[in-house]
Amino acid sequence: MKDFNAANEIQDLQYFGEFGGVNPSISDSSTYTFLSAKTMFDTFEGNAEGCYLYSRHSSPMNLYLAQALAKLENTEAANVTASGMGAITSVLLQVCKSGDHIISSRTIYGGTYAFLKNFLPPFNIETTFLDINNFEAIESSIQPNTKVIYCESVSNPLLEVADLRKLSEICKKHNLKLIVDNTFSPLSISPTLLGADIVIHSLTKFINGSSDTVGGVYCGTQEFIDDTKNVNTGACMLLGPTMDSMRSSSILKNLRTLHIRMKQHSYNALYLAERFEQDGLKVSYPGLPSHKNHELMKSMMHEEYGFGGLMTLDAGTTEKANELMEMMQQKNLGYLAVSLGFYKTLFSCSGSSTSSEIPEEERITMGISDGLIRFSIGLDHDIERTYQKMKECMQKTGVLNHENVSTY
């Protein structure tokens, strides 16, 4: 893999505030003035570098954040949106038109699944959902009108890892776009180095890291980003998922510590996953040798950032899962909440939360069991203490049998 350190790329970006501040100034304006009517016309045409017209088109702070995120994903450009779904929908509606076809991983975020399965068909855009690492099935599903292969680098919630190199080969062979949601693995995986054309993030999650902001981004070529912002035909411009400048400022500041946070998230998640597995629990984490895609992820990742902060644990039943999560929240071990990337551990029962848009029979086929708990592991300083307290909760709820517990 090409030598690339996104943290250094971001660190090298330097912005000064209007009065010499160490943070760039926030432009608290929705519209901007011009000294001449000619410059306003040129800006509408996209030919006035450094000029701003209206904040739905662009704003200084949004461009600063987009620059930094393009550096993160090693692309020419990026564009920020008001949510992760704003990024996903803008990209897919830019690439695909009526009559087109999409191939998607079957295990993806529930909102993305609902958009592909329920929202797009009335616009005559159809999707085939497949095991994303079944390359024979993918190739046989490609039609003359197929435009996209869509996947998550590490899937939500099953933590399946997509072979981005192989998918890129298929896309190049058939002239398709490979679009990758990299929300679960920022810094750990760089999809463009593995052949992806467009990379998407929900900035709400690890990149912002404080669960106080909703945002999204898509990263790609300058030409593609410009196309999405075209005043006549740009999906993002016309759908209008504009990020507020105050939110951009907040995310840009938090982005500066992403490299530190991801290392700790990954360290803590691996620690817990190893111990819970040795206790006999049914745990899934890409850092475990028992994970079916462990070697694949090792071959794609930047090792210093680890295998990510997400793990799953099967409590057996929804009732057991709920009992365990409620007890862990009472013991201040985290929050029973959706989302991920927070400094505290977050846990939710995927089948009844973030994957609830997927019909039950399809969840079962995918392997999303009723008792599956998705953990977004926090930044706990003493992870051994956290493990011991979580283990007590699992014993008290019967998720973990006393006689099966290892001693550390």
Predicted confidence (pLDDT) per residue in 285-340, tens digit: 999 999 999 999 999 999 999 999 999 999 989 999 999 999 999 999 999 999 99
Rounded to whole angstroms, how far apart are CA atoms 231 and 27?
22
Does the residue 404 lie in any domain? Answer: no
CA 171 from chain center: how many Å?
21
Residue pair 318/352 in contact by the 8 Å Cβ criterion: yes
Mean pLDDT of 4-13: 85
Whole-prediction pTM value? 0.92
Strands (E), 189-325: 198-202, 216-220, 283-284, 310-314
Residue 286's pLDDT is what? 98
Judge whether residue 248 has pLDDT over 90: yes
Mean pLDDT of 99-121: 96
Predicted confidence (pLDDT) per residue in 250-261, tens digit: 999 999 999 999
Do 262 and 214 belong together in one domain? no
Rounded to whole angstroms, how far apart are CA atoms 71 and 78?
9
Judge whether residue 1 has pLDDT over 90: no
What percent of the chain has pLDDT above 70?
Answer: 92
Residue 85's pLDDT is what? 98
What is the number of other CB atoms lying within 10 angstroms of the CB of residue 84? 25
Do 205 and 228 belong together in one domain? yes
Does the residue 407 lie in any domain? Answer: no
Domain span at residue 13 reads: 6-252
Predicted confidence (pLDDT) per residue in 149-208, tens digit: 999 999 998 999 999 999 999 999 999 999 999 999 999 999 999 999 999 999 999 999
Residue 407's pLDDT is what? 38
Work out the pLDDT band at 116, boundaries 50, 70, 90.
very high
Q: 233-245: b or e for each residue (b if 16 or more CB lie within 10 Å)? A: ebbbbbeebbbbb
Token pair for 15? 């912005």
Residue 403's pLDDT is what? 44
Q: Which of 110, 150, 120, 101 is nearest to 359 (CA)?
A: 110
User: Can you give the CATH number for the domain in which 385 is found?
Assistant: 3.90.1150.10
Residue pair 290/360 in contact by the 8 Å Cβ criterion: no
What percent of the chain has pLDDT above 90?
Answer: 77
Do 80 and 53 belong together in one domain? yes
Do 262 and 247 belong together in one domain? no
Do 186 and 63 belong together in one domain? yes
Rounded to whole angstroms, how far apart are CA atoms 298 and 1?
12
DSSP string, 52-101: --BTTT--HHHHHHHHHHHHHTT-SEEEEESSHHHHHHHHHHHH--TT-E
Do 191 and 272 belong together in one domain? no
Do 87 and 235 belong together in one domain? yes
Does the residue 14 lie in any domain? Answer: yes
Work out the pLDDT band at 272, boundaries 50, 70, 90.
very high
Work out the pLDDT band at 358, boundaries 50, 70, 90.
low
Work out the pLDDT band at 246, boundaries 50, 70, 90.
very high
Mean pLDDT of 10-17: 84
Q: 3-state DSSP call for residue 307?
A: coil
Mean pLDDT of the chain: 92
Q: 3-state DSSP call for residue 198?
A: strand
Does the residue 177 lie in any domain? Answer: yes
Judge whether residue 356 has pLDDT over 90: no
From 252, 277, 311, the end of a domain falls on 252
Does the residue 267 lie in any domain? Answer: yes
Question: What residue type is assigned to position 115 of the chain?
Answer: F
